[in-house]
Structure 1
Amino acid sequence: MKDIKFIRKMWWLLFAPLFLLACEDKMTEHYEVPDWVAGSAWEVLQEKGGYSIFLHGVELAGYKSIMDGRSILTIMAPDDDAFKVYLQAHGYSSIDEINAEELKKLIGFHLLYYSYNTDKLINFRPEGDLASEENKNKEAGLYYKFRTHSASSPSTEIDRKTGKHITVYHLERFLPVFSYRYWQTKAIDAKSNYEYFYPNSTWSGENGFNVSNASVQEYGITANNGYIYKIDRVLEPLETIYTVLEDHDEYSVFRDLYDSYSEYAYDQTLSNDYGATIGVDSLYLHSHGTSLPPIAMEWPTSSYQAVKTLASVSYSVFAPSNKALNNFFETYWAKGNYESLEDVDKLAMKHLLFQFVNVGLAVFPDQIKNGTVKNQYGVPFNFDPNKVKDRVMCVNGTFYGLDEMTNPPLFGSVMGPAFRDKDRLAYLYALDGSNMLNSYASTEASYTMLIPSDEEMTEGEFTLNYYEDGNVLQRETENGWSDIGSSALQQLVQTHTLGSEKNLKATGSHVYTSQLSFNYWFLKDGKLTCNAWYNQVLEPDYNGNPFVELTELTDDGKKWTNGRSYAYGNTNGLISLDETNGLEQKLAINSDSRYPYFAFVQLLKKANMVSGESISGLFGGRFIVFIPTEAAIKTALANNAIPGITNGALSSSGITGTINLATLQNYLRSYFISRTTNVFTDYPYIGSNFKNAVYQTLNPEVKMTYTDTGSSLNVKLNNSNKVGTVTSDYNYFPFAFSDGCFHFIDSTF
């Protein structure tokens, strides 16, 4: 019978928190104690004896009523010996000397909302008591924070955006409980990692847990309104990471930079519930924008119902000291022509800050050493935690103060010049808007990146406009300035990037495929062009130079951590995509004899293969065509060597002769390779991924053998002994368009 009564009592104690969580959470919340439960937490501690200082503090702080049965709660109770040590260490002879506000904060930190038995504190499950055994082993121990009755008084702050004084509400503190399951799940050593942040405490939770800075001496003492845990020392109320920064002037530069993103959000629920009590109409929460972690807030969310988030999510900040940041400015941004930290663009600064924060779980030193924790760019944090002087466990995460600062991974990547150089800022906005920063920050791959100047970006119709609420990369349209979408920015960045590291050579001719398929960089004797620029040499009236100077941009004389970066001359504007209507259209509409492919187009027209802007058989797909030179076609016509045409001749008005349409069409189709009947991922050039192989031409009866010898390109039809060799007049560079490419060959088939 006693067992049955005990089970009933425990059932009520275990499930009462679930009932309370389902109700609206008010500060005056209380419950009626059933007749069969006796002994409140207050009465239990009074009866045990040795807790007189703590109980006196509870009474002074105004919490006696909730300990005496008005609320269900969990108490972390330091005995008189522990409290005497605390008072002496803080210069008090009696608890009565502690400021009332500080005492309320101190005592409240020992009083947890709701009732937690030992198992729940070891491995709290946000889904409740119905969690399966399998689920209990998922993220075991990582729901480690528990809401207390400790809160700081509202503060008055100035909203930088409006200049107005506002009242900021401070939510109640959460108490970290580090169980042995917490360390097991993180797969790191409990003792060294716990004592890293609590050097004056001792890890003793091998089979249980430590509560912030205290060890538990007695577990799960039952009272009618919850559980009591005897601890060996008074719990020091934890502050936010932001408060720690405020209290350490040696990190004031980092704090001020972080604070430049401050935002104050009006909270209607808090205002309605507590505004009148405080004497204000509006209460606000202090965050730092939508991207940076809200390190000034005690909770990761203002919703008390988000149990899973509240119990697990923390932040870690690795703040460089003033000296470290100033040194970094001198060795990095000053070389990019910035005059001061305040002069650095906000986007670049935001990405600097991002590299010194972690969102998710509190970070411990072993995780840094093991490289298992990464910043939001996927790069491990790179510092020796043993050299960190200031390390603080906070109510919303962990704080590391760094006296030394290495080049942040993002800034040391191939994107470095865009972050560093003031005159390449527009490209930084392009990188950011492309959503590809993480890819180019990774050290698991290497890249070669061209970094255009702001002037080149503007010439390419990518203009960085400066507005009061921030800078925006825009393009001018007939309707005014329009923001540039991520798709266009991705294309821009991909055409400026190679997917491997290349030391762009100063001699010879070279072709490099950009990350945007079928778009190329051409190098000749150390000068650069792209396929869109190079195609201009076909234009009869073009008298420019498609090649521009190329200069390597280094990290103080060294290459970047994951590749190389280059600047290019601005005589041709911005490297871009082929913006014509494509090769098929270009060939189909040609009627100007000055073009080097005029003779071949006239053959197509004579064969009735051209209709408007289309060539029969291509069906709008990607294709490759090997075009005989005009001289080769003239010779073949003179010798009646072109099947389907006899007594042919070429003039500026076209081709004359006797035509057999079917024969001529089949013959001309043999010069084309289409992706509708072949697989290829690259255009042909010396060393390309267009491999030596036999390809099906548009003529279903004819195949073409393609051979790259390493110094020349040859093509041959299976029904002919004649070999066409790509002419060297154009450095074996392909004339590459959005839908196809061509090479000139020195003979007809």
Structure 2
Amino acid sequence: MSKILPKFLIVFLTVIFFLTSCRKKEFDEFYGRPENLGDPIYQQLQAKGNFTRFLDCIDKAGYKETLSTAGSWTIFAPNDQAFNTYMQENSITELNADLASKIVRYSMIYDGEKVERLSDFFSVKGFVKNTAFRRRSVYYDFVYDGLDKDGKAIKVIDVNRNNGYVAGDFNNKNITYFLSPFMAFSGLSAADYNFFYPNSTYNGNNVGPGKLVDGQTNIIAENGVIHVVDKVLTPPQSIDQYINQKTDYSVFKNLLDKFVTYTLNADISHRYEVLSGKPANVYVKNYSTLLAYAPNNENYLKADANDAQSGSYSIFAPTNSAVNTYANTVLLKYWKKRGVNTLNELYVVAPDVVRDFVNSHLYATTVWPTKFTATTNALGDVTKRTTADVIDRQALSNGFLYGINKAQDASVFSTVYGNVNLDPDYSIMKQALSFFGLTIPLKTPSLKYVVVMISDVTLRKMGFSYDPFFVTAPIRGDAVALKRILQTHIIPLGDRAVPNFTSGSGILEASNGEYIKYDRGRLISSGTQDSTLVAKQTIPIDSMNTTPINGAAVYGKEALTYTVLNIGKHIEKYGTLPTDPYYNFFQYLNNSVMYTKATGAITGLTDGVNYTIFIPTNAAIVLAVRAGLLPGNVTTGVPNFTSTDGVDITKVNKFLQYHILNKTTVVSDGQKTGEFESLLKNDGGDAAKITVTLNTTSSLMLRDVTGATVNVLLGATDRSNVLSNRTVIHQINAYLKYQF
């Protein structure tokens, strides 16, 4: 027994040793350092021999250990030739530690990536091919000396989000490159690169002002990837930093500063004290969320953690003279009569105007030099500026800057809405348009309008005012009535020219489907024509502004009101006497079961719905009687307005209903043709149709279901285009015949 045990132990230990050796070999093969893996970045640069300057910077910056050990970095390494050029161009004989640190940290980006991967956006869903042109560098600014709103010296750190400061985010600057896969995919060319770097040659392998050196990219190291560049890369300023140090933009900077606040941050204050050894209160420089973005935010939107790889900001920064010229000719044009003569004063009384002016120069996206007209700003406008207006161009750390010698002409100022927006005499109209959501079409350059202006004096006289302290109901007065009035003052033009209000005449459809008329310098609405005073039945046009890019603003002495009368009362107006043009038609209506004599209401017509009523002449009514469509003597055509026979009552109802278009208004304005439903319906609920076959400003032709043609009478003495309650009434030369 004692002899067997030692032999067993020897065999057992031999097996254990053999298994352990196998496992160690497998472990080393899986986890061990591959034999073909290059040395760390620092050692590889050292071995190449032509990176002595860059290695000196690494040493001074304190990054030798970082780049000699584990990690994952992409390094854009400038060779000694690049440094010699840089030092000569900048008259530098020795690189101090601060500059060395900037060069090294800005040349380092997180994660080791080959050139082929740099054009891909590393999103939360994976790589998106050919959509990236930036990467986050190691470099970031920390606390710096600044001034608060009162000019007091304070310690400041920049915001790292567009809506606040997030602890743990260092606001790293991004390095911009211009590689062929991204450029081709985005439809960009050498022109987009050379616009910013006119002294550099574009070859599709450009990093900032430099190029990747042929044959010296994708150098795999133990702790990353090396790409050799022929230029020394230094961290550019942010948009905020550049604007703040360029006196050419000091007036615009002053406007930006109006949206800045400084917030004490205890954590950063403590961190600053630990790092510097000096106690101080550190304030975060915040920009209001009223702006498109914070110009000092080095991150992008952060909708995705890495979205700065594929997006950046842009700014069209107007020079001092450009801002002042635009302010004097546009922004302050109407305010000067109120004694407001500067932008600082304008900000006090109309901060939204200053906000819109600033935002018109901010683009929360990348605007490439060849894509000016394809990119919209915070207000939804494309720039009206061209590259010829650009006197300064910078590819900055968080976006592109274009210094321009002409300010942006924002749509909120240059469209018909601008007349309301900029004139303090129309502030109630402005606030009400915004409250009712009526502003967007007016400030859309591609949509043409005529806006009839209503002054504050007029609106107050009508009982309307605007009180912003009542947040949910700021309209003082009947809000429903005010909205209807405002809509009547907004005239969509479509593709038509601005009408000749001075010497012409016509009828125009308002934005709510109601109509107004103009006649040789005067305006008429359904409400004004009801006035008992002849002088008040039309509104004189005082002046017009035809400079808006999408129409015109018309100034009148009063407002265009709407009628409160029911439609029947306007028919009655021209149908009481036997000699009146609507007499026969109205007499049938007046004695029908459809009509309420006291109010003028017509059964089947709903309040708030638009209609058109076609009234045959008295002679045409006689012909309808002879045709047996209306009660009366079929031989002589003499009408019987008061028949109580059931069949006759039905005839009258059907005749009247077929002469009323339901849910639409048609006038002689050249706009509407085609088939429209009448108020008449068969037993199955199908509406009888009327077809408008011809519509011009001088003729309006109809066709009934039998194919008969009828003309609207548009002569000076005819009663057509008569305005009523959401309705227009026309006189026609014959009756319309229905068939069921």
TM-score tier (shorter):
0.7 to 0.9
Q: Which residue number corresponds to residue 148 of structure 1? A: 137
Residue range with higher mean Cα deviation, 275-284 or 194-203: 275-284
Measured after TM superposition, the shift of residue 257 of structure 1 is 1.2
Quickly say closer, same or farther: Cα 1:430–1:76, change in 2 above 3 A: farther
Change (3 A) 1:632 1:163: farther
Cα separation, 1, equivalents of 2:93 and 2:52:
15
Tell me if structure 2 keeps the 8 A contact 1:391–1:398: yes
For the structure 1 residues 82 and 156, does the alpha-carbon distance in structure 2 shift closer, same or farther, using more than 3 Å as the test? Answer: same
- Distance verdict in 2 for CA 1:418–1:160, change over 3 Å: farther
Change (3 A) 1:111 1:658: closer
CA 1:673–1:148: 2 relative to 1, 3 Å:
same
| 2:557 partner amino acid | N
Q: Are the aligned partners of 1:434 and 1:489 in contact in 2 as well (CA < 8 Å)?
A: no
Q: Is the 8 A contact 1:463 1:473 kept in 2?
A: no
Structure 1 position 281, deviation (Å): 8.3
User: Kindly tell me: are residues 456 and 108 of structure 1, through their superposed partners in 2, closer, same or farther at Cα, counting changes over 3 Å?
Assistant: farther
Q: Report the counterpart of residue 20 of structure 2 in structure 1.
A: none
The residue aligned with 1:76 is 76
Corresponding position of 1:608 = 593
In structure 2, what is the Cα distance between the partners aligned to 1:385 and 1:709? 45
2:710 and 2:410 map into 1 onto residues whose CA distance is 59
Quote the offset at 1:164 in angstroms. 11
Residue identity over aligned pairs, in percent, reads 19
- What secondary structure does 2:313 align onto? strand
**AA at the equivalent of 1:143:** A
1:159/1:120 Cα in 2 relative to 1: closer, same or farther (>3 Å)? same
Q: CA deviation at 1:253?
A: 0.8
CA shift, 1:74, in A, is 1.1
> Separation in 1 of the partners of 2:698 and 2:198?
69
TM-score normalized by the length of structure 1: 0.74
What displacement does 1:151 show? Answer: 1.0
User: 1:179–1:210: 8 Å Cα contact kept in structure 2?
Assistant: yes
1:560 maps to 548
Moved more, 76-85 or 281-290: 281-290
What is the match of residue 493 of structure 2?
Answer: 498
What amino acid sits opposite 1:347 in the alignment? D
SS of the aligned residue for 1:243 comes to helix
Q: Is the 8 A contact 1:151 1:172 kept in 2?
A: yes
Structure 2 counterpart of 1:388, one-letter code: V
Name the residue aligned to 2:286: 286
Residue 120 of structure 2 corresponds to residue 120 of structure 1:
no
Q: How does 1:168-187 map to 2 (within 5 A)?
A: 168-169=157-158, 171-187=171-187
Matched, 1:507 2:507: no
Query: Given that residues 449 and 498 in structure 1 are in contact (C-alpha distance below 8 angstroms), is that contact kept between their aligned partners in structure 2?
Result: no
Structure-2 separation of matches of 1:447 and 1:724: 27
Residue of structure 2 in register with 1:389 after alignment? 391
Give the structure 2 partner of residue 742 of structure 1.
729
Output one character per residue of 1:161-196: Cα deviation in whole Å (capped at 9) or x when no partner.
999967434611111121112221232322x32122
Q: 2: distance between equivalents of 1:386 and 1:703? A: 58
Could you tell me which of 223, 227, 231 is aligned with 2:225? 227
In 1, the alpha carbon distance for the partners of 2:689 and 2:172 equals: 77
Compared CA separation, residues 260 and 501, structure 1 to 2 (3 A): farther
Letter of the structure 2 residue corresponding to residue 46 of structure 1: Q
**Contact 2:133–2:177 at 8 Å: present in 1 too?**
yes
Name the counterpart of 1:698.
680
CA contact (8 A) 1:682 1:688 kept: no
**1:249-288 matched pairs, under 5 angstroms:** 249-263=247-261, 284=284, 286-288=286-288
Aligned to 1:686: 668
Count of matched residue pairs: 669
The gaps in structure 2 that reach 5 residues or longer are 1-26, 160-170, 634-639
Q: C-alpha deviations, 1:697-741, integer Å up to 9, x for none? A: 638699879897976779899799999968956863332323x44
Q: Which residue of 2 aligns with 1:413?
A: 415
Once the two structures are overlaid, the 10-residue window that deviates more, 541-550 or 426-435, is 426-435
Query: What amino acid maps onto 2:680 in structure 1?
Result: L
Task: Give the structure 2 partner of residue 660 of structure 1.
Answer: 645
Aligned partner of 1:352 among 354, 357, 360: 357
2: CA distance between counterparts of 1:146 and 1:84? 26
Answer whether contact 2:588 2:652 (CA < 8 A) is retained: no
State the distance in 1 between where 2:89 and 2:72 align. Answer: 32
1:455 — aligned with what?
457
Mapped partners of 1:497, 1:188: distance in 2: 39
Q: What is the one-letter code of the residue matched to 1:360?
A: T
Structure 2 counterpart of 1:215, one-letter code: K
Per the TM alignment, residue 329 of structure 1 is displaced from its structure 2 partner at its CA by 2.5
Q: What residue in structure 1 maps to residue 309 of structure 2?
A: 311
Deviation at 1:282, TM superposition (A): 7.5
Partners of 2:105 and 2:137 within 8 A in 1: yes
* Compared CA separation, residues 263 and 625, structure 1 to 2 (3 A): same
Partner residue, 1:364 = 368
User: What does the per-residue CA deviation read over 1:361-390, in whole Å, with 9 as the maximum and x for residues that have no partner?
Assistant: 2x232223xx33344555442334245332
Q: CA distance change for structure 1 residues 725 and 466 in 2, over 3 Å: closer, same or farther?
A: closer
> Scaled by the length of structure 2, what TM-score is found?
0.75
Matched to 1:40, the amino acid is P
For residues 147 and 490 of structure 1, the distance between their equivalents in structure 2, rounded to whole angstroms, comes to 55
Q: Deviations over 1:19-73 (max 9, x none)?
A: xxxxxxxxxxxxx999996622122212222323222222322323321225321
Provide closer, same or farther for how the CA distance between residues 475 and 271 of structure 1 changes in structure 2, counting only shifts above 3 A.
farther
The amino acid across from 1:194 in the alignment is: Y
Q: Distance in 1 between matches of 2:642 and 2:662?
A: 37
The answer as to whether partners of 2:487 and 2:511 remain within 8 angstroms in 1 is no
- Helix, strand or coil at the partner of 2:101: helix
Q: Identify if the C-alpha distance between structure 1 residues 86 and 475 changes in structure 2 by more than 3 Å, giving closer, same or farther.
A: same
**Max radius of gyration: which structure?**
2
Give the Cα–Cα distance (whole angstroms) in 2 for the partners of residues 355 and 583 of structure 1: 47
Counterpart in 2 of 1:533? 528
Match of 1:424 in 2: 426
AA aligned to 2:539 is V
Contact conserved, 2:314 with 2:399, CA < 8 A, in 1?
A: yes
1:547–1:466 Cα change, 3 Å: same
- Partner of 1:667, secondary structure, is helix
SS in 1 for 2:539: coil
Q: Hey, what does 2:67 align to over in structure 1?
A: 67
> Unmatched 5+ residue regions in structure 1?
1-7, 13-31, 647-654
Q: Aligned to 2:402, which of 387, 400, 403?
A: 400
Q: CA 1:159 to 1:741, structure 2 compared with 1: closer, same or farther past 3 Å?
A: farther
**How many Å apart are 1:228 and its aligned residue?**
1.1
CA RMSD of aligned residues (A): 5.1
Cα–Cα, structure 1 residues 272 and 731, in superposed 2: closer, same or farther, change >3 Å?
A: farther
In 1, Cα distance between equivalents of 2:319 and 2:696: 59
